[in-house]
Each structure stands twice: as C-alpha cells, then as structure tokens.
Chains A and B, each alone.
Chain A
Amino acid sequence: GDSVTQMEGPVTLSEEAFLTINCTYTATGYPSLFWYVQYPGEGLQLLLKATKADDKGSNKGFEATYRKETTSFHLEKGSVQVSDSAVYFCALRGSGRGSTLGRLYFGRGTQLTVWP
C-alpha cells in the first residue's frame, strides 16, 4: 500500500545553517506529495506541494522536488531561522485504485529546532 518514510529526528541546527529532511515514498501510479508543518501549539499547515514528477514546490524559502526515479521528496532550506522550529511532516495522496481525495498518508514527522 501507499506509505511515506521520513527521516527521523530530532534535527538541531544553528541559525543560517542548511536544512535537509529526507522523505521517500511508496505508491502506485502518480501520487501528489506534500510537506506540512506544525508550529508549537498550532494545527498542521500546508507548507508546499508537488503534483507530478519533476515539479518543485516552494514556499517561505523551503523547496522540495518530486523525484519519481528515486521516489523522493526531500525538504530543503538554504538558511534556517529560529522561527522555523517546528515539526515537519511529509505526506502523499495516492492516485491508485481506491484512493480518495480526502486521504493523506503521513510520515512520522521530524522535529526541527533552530538555535540562535
């Protein structure tokens, strides 16, 4: 079945460091891929998305490229800030038989802490 495997945390970085959080997926067909972020005390928010191979999603300095050949969707940011401290979730929506628009498969989440 469809699933997402996400890099385990926690990840601790100094401000302005480069961030990569790895995410790989298993799915039939052509899933859509997402990164969600959960700031302390808040609900999940969509950070970025990509709906087909080679698409690059970007938002707030974060980027992720949908790589079908490696079944990956790694999240990157060139220079993190203290305000980026949060939990990041990789997710997919399947396109195979039986998939519905309302079902997302999430990774376990990666806690990011950025120190000044």
Chain B
Amino acid sequence: ETGVTQSPTHLIKTRGQQVTLRCSSQSGHNTVSWYQQALGQGPEFLTYFQNEAQLEKSRLLSDRFSAERPKGSFSTLEIQRTEQGDSAMYLCASSLGGPSYNEQFFGPGTRLTVL
C-alpha cells in the first residue's frame, strides 16, 4: 500500500513566480486536506476535498491560492504571484471519508522558499 506522496520535496522560487505543488493520496482514500506549516508553528488548514468536490476553504487561502482534485488520486495546490510570506512547509493529508472520522495520513511535505 502506497502512502501519501508529495512532490517536489523542496522548491525555491523568486517572488512573483507561480508554483504548483502535487499530492497523491493513499490508495483507497477519497479525501484530501492541505495545510500550511510555517517554521516553528503547527500546521494551519487550507482546504479540504472529498472526491472532486472542494468542501471547505480557509480564510488563509487567499485568491492567489487555488487547489483542485480532478478524478483520480492526486491533488494540486497552485500559488500565483508568490510572496516571501508564502515560505512554509505545505502538507497534504488523505483519509477514507465517511460519516465518522477516519485518521488523516500525512505526506512528507513540500518545503517552499520564496526569495
């Protein structure tokens, strides 16, 4: 069974550039959540998908951020016009959705540095 994978592992961008982060959920899982983790802080929720539907977006998710989860197991988080404040670890988590909570399995993260 393959766990949650994320790519790339590290990314260095210049302010103003666009970035796309990718997440592949664990086999059989139908939900994906994205989190942003600044250095020395806990993860902050960004958005949540069940199947292809984006069910919740945090106020942290500014209009420069967009996410999608087309059919299949992968999801993408795109950041337009990156700013230095976007520098953080971006975490993806997947779970088997349903009426009761199922454990979220986290990927290793993508560390984004914006210069």
- Point out residues on A near B: beta carbons under 8 Å: 4, 6, 32, 36, 42-46, 49, 51, 89, 91, 93, 100-109
Which B residues from 58 to 114 make CB contacts under 8 A with A? 58, 91, 93, 95, 97-98, 101-109
Residues of B within 8 A of A43 (CB): 4, 91, 106-109
Query: Contact at A106–B44, with CB atoms within 8 Å?
Result: yes
Query: Contact at B104–A46, with CB atoms within 8 Å?
Result: yes
B10 CB to nearest A CB, Å: 13
B59 CB to nearest A CB, Å: 11
Residues of B within 8 A of A91 (CB): 42
Contacts A101-B101, A103-B45; is A42 near B108 (CB within 8 Å)? yes
Tell me which of B41, B43, B102 has the highest count of chain A C-beta atoms within 10 A of its own C-beta: B43
Total B residues in contact with A, Cβ cutoff 8 Å: 31
Residues of A within 8 A of B41 (CB): 108-109
Query: Contact at B95–A102, with CB atoms within 8 Å?
Result: yes
Query: Contact at A101–B44, with CB atoms within 8 Å?
Result: no
A44 CB to nearest B CB, Å: 4
- Closest B residue to A91 by beta carbon equals B42
B12 CB to nearest A CB, Å: 19
Residues of A within 8 A of B106 (CB): 36, 43-45
B111 CB to nearest A CB, Å: 12
Residues of B within 8 A of A45 (CB): 106
Tell me which of A43, A100, A102, A104 has the highest count of chain B C-beta atoms within 10 A of its own C-beta: A102
Residues of A within 8 A of B40 (CB): 108-109
- Closest B residue to A110 by beta carbon equals B42
Query: Contact at A104–B107, with CB atoms within 8 Å?
Result: no
Query: Contact at A108–B42, with CB atoms within 8 Å?
Result: yes
Residues of B within 8 A of A89 (CB): 42-43
Contacts A46-B103, A100-B48; is A106 near B56 (CB within 8 Å)? no
B77 CB to nearest A CB, Å: 14
